[in-house]
Structure formats: C-alpha cells, structure tokens
C-alpha cells in the first residue's frame, strides 16, 4: 500500500480527491499496488466530502508519518508550499505538484533535494494542465536535441484573444466576459501580463534544454495593448494574433533565448486553430521535426488527472522517477535582441514603405497604416529600418 497526502484541498486538490474516489480501484490495478489517500491538509473542514475524516490542519503530522510516501502539493505560491515541499523531500517523500510558480522559481533546488533524498519531484500538471507535455519531452523526445519550443501557454489570454477575433469584442469587454465565465481571476494581472506564460516557458525550457531558465531571464509582454484594429489588420493578411511563450536554442553555443510576447501567426498554422481556453505547445527536435501537443490548459479535472498520473508514475517506479536539469545562470541565455523574425507594425500616417507589405482593413482608423516586413530582422535591425515611423503597435510574425 502507498499512502498519499494532499496539501491544499482547493480546486485541483479536491479534483485529485475526486479521481481517487471514483477511479481508485482502476488506479490501484494499473500500478499493481493499493494507493490510499491518508491525509488532506487544509485550513477548512469539508463535511460531506467522502474524505472528510482525513482532513487535518497540521503539516507536521504528514511530515513525521513514515507511512506517507507521496505528497501532492496543490496549494500554490512560493511561501508555505515551498517550505512543505522542502520538508517532505528532505524526509524522502516524493512530491507531485501543479504549482508552476514554485517550479519556475525553485525547480533546480527542489530537483536536487529530491535526488539527494532518493525520491521524486514531478510537476506534469504545472504546464498545460492536462496536456501530457513534460513526460513526452523527457522520455519520447529523448533521442533529440531540441531546437525550439513555442506555445499558447495561457488559457485566459487565449480566450480573450479568441473573443476579440471571433466576436469583435474589445480587450476590456473580452476580459470582463472571461471574468464573468470564471476563465479569468478578479485580478487578472498574472494572466494578461504574461507572467503565467513566463513561468511555463521557464519550466518547458529548463526541461527541454537541460539548464534552469529563471523567470527574471525571460522578457515578458502581455496582451493588454492589443487593439481590435490589430486583430482586423492581422485577419486581412491571413494571420491571427496569439500570445506565445517561446524559447530557441542557439546551435553555435547552446545558449537559449526565452521570451513571452504576442505574435501574428499564419491562419494555416496548426497553432492558429487553438481557440478559447485550449493550449498548445509546438516542440522542434533535430530528428523528429515539429511535434505539437494540444488540450485544455487548465481546469480542475484535466489538471487533477495530470497530478494523479504523476502519482501513479512514482508508485510504479517506487519513488525513483527522476527528472533532472542543471542549474542556470547568466551564461545560460542570450538576449531577445538577437532573435530575427518578420514583424507586424501599425504606424501613424497613411503610408507605403519599401520592404514591407501593407495590410488592408475595412475598419482601419484614418491616419494609420499597418505592414508586415518582407524580411526577418532582429529588433535593432527593425528599429533602424523603421526609423522615422511613429510605431503604435509592433509584434513578431511567426
């Protein structure tokens, strides 16, 4: 028998409880071992919950119970969650989490701690909710050197952009609708300013290229400046606007550039049809070429099912399921100013310019025009080329 404790019985934590309750026998059969939910740590009580009698309020009970082999951390944040994770791993208890902030910020340290104590730290649910992505990256693509990772990593912003594109809602109206539907928080900053996507591209890049990329190394731009005019111009050129987290490994020295920013993407790209709260991650490897993973990026049950899959993996591997990467530092990354792309520009004035295709848009404001450059340019090259233009919007084209 393997005993599990859940820390935090909120949305994801209670989803994990629900799966254990509903599919417990199926799960035990598949791992050839009885999986038992022994404790739920929360400040609240849950009368009526089938596991109401397992709710406790003191982490030290879990920490000091040698029977607990796996701890599910679904609290979030980098305070108490960080503390509990370190204490559990130090006792040789494997930890499974959906906490992307913690992994992005302290992943290397926690992986080292797991290794030193002969246990596992797994976090499939921290990126892409239910989409299996970290495991395929670490196992199935193992024979590849990865070259690029690009993804729609945040469901809230993708929902807002989809509503702007499909229903012609303004950014503010689409955000309000997302909040009304429960797809956006009351304080939506982490989503719309790209912080959530930033944490996810950090985790994907650390795993994919083998060295920790920290959030402060990732220039991050959100979607709050995107206008309906940009959406319409993009459409007129056969593009859609999407928020991407992206990272590129430079062949010459193995350094990585990671950033988060809105991009125009060709409407025939497989990334273009990723709508609403769905996420998708496109990975390019040297042998395999492009591979894309698509699914619901968030939501109680998808995320909980990814957590349970990690627990099952640990039970099967008797706690020795290892993910590792090296620590990162200033020598790990190179600046986004060295990444060349074609560009979308919206500028003041009714202009034609050499070296760019002008876009036509029935709803265009007077006295503005928009272009896509013919050539790929780095940001400094772009600034030199666009000298004299009054730029009102500027996005990369992928």
Give whichever of 27 and 345 is closer to its own copies, judged by the CB atom. 27
Give me the least distance between CB of 238 and its own copies, in Å please. Answer: 13
Task: Give the residue among 263, 221, 269, 216 at the shortest CA–CA distance from 244.
Answer: 263
Are residues 285 and 291 in contact, defined by beta-carbon separation less than 8 angstroms?
yes
* Residue 248, token pair as written in the block: 């590129």
Give whichever of 139 and 252 is closer to its own copies, judged by the CB atom. 139
DSSP, res 398: -
Determine which residue in the list 92, 136, 215, 219 makes contact with its own copies, applying CB under 8 A.
136
Give whichever of 108 and 294 is closer to its own copies, judged by the CB atom. 294
Give me the least distance between CB of 232 and its own copies, in Å please. Answer: 19
**91 Cβ neighbours under 8 A, 6+ residues apart:** 63, 117
Binding mask 138-177 for its own copies (x = CB under 8 A): -xxxxxxx--------------------------------
Give me the least distance between CB of 172 and its own copies, in Å please. Answer: 25
Give me the least distance between CB of 278 and its own copies, in Å please. Answer: 8
Interaction of residue 204 with its own copies, rule CB under 8 A: no
- CA dihedral of residues 173, 175, 177, 181 (deg, nearest 10): 180
Binding mask 86-125 for its own copies (x = CB under 8 A): --------------------------------------x-
CA distance 397 to 336: 15
Give me the least distance between CB of 6 and its own copies, in Å please. Answer: 14
Residue that is written with structure tokens 């429960």 in the block: 182
216-230 core/surface letters (b: 16 or more CB in 10 A; e: else): ebbebbbbbebbbbb
Binding mask 306-335 for its own copies (x = CB under 8 A): x-xx--xx----------------------
Count of chain residues binding its own copies (CB under 8 A): 48
Alpha carbon separation from 279 to 181, 236, 296 (Å, rounded) = 18, 24, 6
Give me the least distance between CB of 291 and its own copies, in Å please. Answer: 4
Give whichever of 144 and 229 is closer to its own copies, judged by the CB atom. 144
Are residues 241 and 231 in contact, defined by beta-carbon separation less than 8 angstroms?
yes
CA distance 344 to 370: 7
Determine which residue in the list 56, 78, 301, 351 makes contact with its own copies, applying CB under 8 A.
301
Count the neighbouring beta carbons within 10 Å of the beta carbon of residue 357.
14
What is the dihedral sign for C-alpha 34, 35, 37, 38?
A: positive
Determine which residue in the list 2, 12, 27, 232 makes contact with its own copies, applying CB under 8 A.
27
Per CB under 8 A, the segment of 176-184, 215-223, 298-306, 339-347 that binds its own copies is: 298-306
* Residue 252, token pair as written in the block: 């010459």
Task: Give the residue among 81, 6, 73 at the shortest CA–CA distance from 37.
Answer: 6
Give whichever of 105 and 156 is closer to its own copies, judged by the CB atom. 156
CA distance 218 to 47: 44
Give whichever of 320 and 360 is closer to its own copies, judged by the CB atom. 320
From 38, 93, 100, 200, the catalytic residue: 200
- The residues in 269-288 that bind its own copies, with binding defined as CB under 8 A, are 269-270, 272-275, 278, 280, 285, 287-288
Give me the least distance between CB of 297 and its own copies, in Å please. Answer: 11
Give whichever of 159 and 385 is closer to its own copies, judged by the CB atom. 159
What end-to-end distance do the CA atoms of the chain give, in Å?
50
**Is 200 known to be catalytic?**
yes
Are residues 108 and 206 in contact, defined by beta-carbon separation less than 8 angstroms?
yes
Question: Residues in the site for its own copies, rule: CB under 8 A?
Answer: 19, 23, 26-27, 30, 124, 130-132, 135-136, 139-145, 268-270, 272-275, 278, 280, 285, 287-296, 299, 301-302, 304-306, 308-309, 312-313
Active site residues: 200
């Amino acid at each position: 028998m393997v005993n599990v404790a859940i820390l935090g019985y909120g949305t994801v934590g209670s989803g994990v409880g629900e799966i254990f309750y509903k599919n417990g026998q199926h799960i035990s059969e598949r791992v050839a071992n009885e999986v038992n939910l022994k404790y739920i740590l929360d400040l609240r009580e849950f009368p009526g919950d089938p596991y109401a009698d397992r709710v406790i309020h003191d982490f030290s009970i879990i920490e000091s119970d040698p029977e607990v082999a796996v701890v599910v951390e679904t609290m979030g944040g980098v305070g108490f969650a960080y503390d509990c994770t370190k204490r559990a791993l130090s006792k040789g208890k494997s930890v499974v989490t959906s906490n992307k902030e913690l992994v992005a910020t302290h992943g290397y340290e926690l992986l080292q701690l797991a290794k030193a104590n002969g246990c596992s730290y797994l976090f499939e649910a921290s990126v892409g909710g239910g989409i299996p992505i970290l495991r395929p990256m670490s196992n199935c693509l193992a024979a590849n050197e990865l070259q690029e990772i690009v993804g729609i990593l945040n469901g809230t912003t993708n929902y807002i952009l989809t509503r702007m594109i499909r229903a012609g809602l303004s950014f503010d109206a689409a955000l309000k609708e997302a909040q009304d539907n429960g797809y956006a928080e009351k304080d939506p900053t982490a989503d719309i300013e790209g912080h959530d996507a930033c944490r996810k591209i950090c985790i994907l890049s650390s795993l994919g290229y083998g060295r920790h990329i920290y959030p402060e190394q990732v220039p991050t731009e959100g979607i709050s400046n995107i206008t309906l005019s940009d959406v319409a111009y993009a459409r007129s050129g056969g593009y859609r606007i999407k928020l991407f987290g992206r990272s590129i490994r430079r062949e010459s020295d193995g350094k990585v550039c990671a950033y988060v920013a809105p991009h125009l993407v060709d409407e025939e790209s497989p990334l273009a049809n990723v709508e609403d709260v769905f996420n998708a991650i496109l990975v390019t490897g040297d042998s395999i070429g492009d591979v894309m993973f698509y699914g619901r990026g968030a939501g109680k049950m998808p995320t909980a099912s990814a957590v349970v899959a990690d627990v099952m993996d640990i039970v099967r591997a008797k706690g020795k399921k290892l993910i590792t990467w090296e620590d990162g530092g200033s020598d790990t990354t190179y600046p986004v100013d060295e990444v060349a792309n074609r560009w979308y520009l919206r500028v003041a004035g009714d202009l034609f310019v050499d070296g760019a295709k002008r876009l036509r848009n029935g709803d265009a404001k007077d006295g503005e025009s928009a272009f896509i450059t013919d050539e790929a340019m780095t940001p400094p090259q772009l600034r030199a080329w666009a000298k004299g233009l009054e730029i009102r919007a500027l996005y990369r084209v992928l």
